[in-house]
Amino acid sequence: MNERRQREDRIRNKRSGGWGTTSGMYFYVVHQVFAESDKASQPDPGRRSVWVYAGIPLLLAGVEAYLIQHQHLLKDASGIKVLAGVDPLKEVLKLYPLSVELQADMESAIEIRNQIVHPSPLPFGQPEWPASLKRLHEQKVIEGNVPDSGTSVLAMLGSHRVFEWAVERCAQALDLVADSDPDRAWMFHQHAEYLWQVLKQPAPPSP
């Protein structure tokens, strides 16, 4: 069995043994990267930052870890048809009461992650907005002309403002996930608070 199947099998077929939450590990590293990004981008009016390329993939990994926890921690997940860690993240998020706008923003954040981790720097043939970047441009998170290649897309995403936007949207989504189960909401709001702290504190707390 390859490692991807092993990971998915652990989620699909619960076995005996101990396990622990991991979203906080991801969010702690996101906090460290965010602090470096904030510091590096301060002198630049455009808030340019290469740290975004490290931070956003870790951010979305933390969101997925949080959703796995929500589906399995102190809960029987046997009846869940769409599983975090197995099915596409955007489909898992549809299980929760996100607004249409927030769902669209989260899908854009996922596509931005994909733009970063799946390089495709070649030309488009003619300038056009990828849907995720168009959404950020309409919200005035990013500025610039219509991109004409994967290279220009990556350059446009290298902004601390994109990082701030993504962290805030993810934190909002996790709060709504927590609220969807009142009996466990207190616990999952605590996990989501690790992400809110990224925006509230300029430097991460000690581990």
Q: What digits encode the pLDDT tens for the residues 173-193?
A: 999 999 999 999 999 999 999
Confidence band, pLDDT 50/70/90 cuts, at residue 206: low
Secondary structure letter of residue 159 according to DSSP: B
pLDDT at 201: 77
Per-residue pLDDT band for 202 (boundaries 50, 70, 90) equals low
3-class secondary structure for 50-83?
CCHHHHHHHHHHHHHHHHHHHHHCCCCCCCCCCC
Measured over the CA atoms of residue 3, residue 109, residue 184 and residue 203, the dihedral's sign is: positive
Radius of gyration in angstroms for the set of CA atoms belonging to the chain, rounded to a whole number: 18
Instruction: Yes or no: say if 55 and 34 are a contact pair by the CB < 8 Å rule.
Output: yes
Higher pLDDT, 14 or 54: 54
Mean pLDDT for 103-128 is 95
pLDDT band for 18, please (50, 70, 90 cuts).
confident
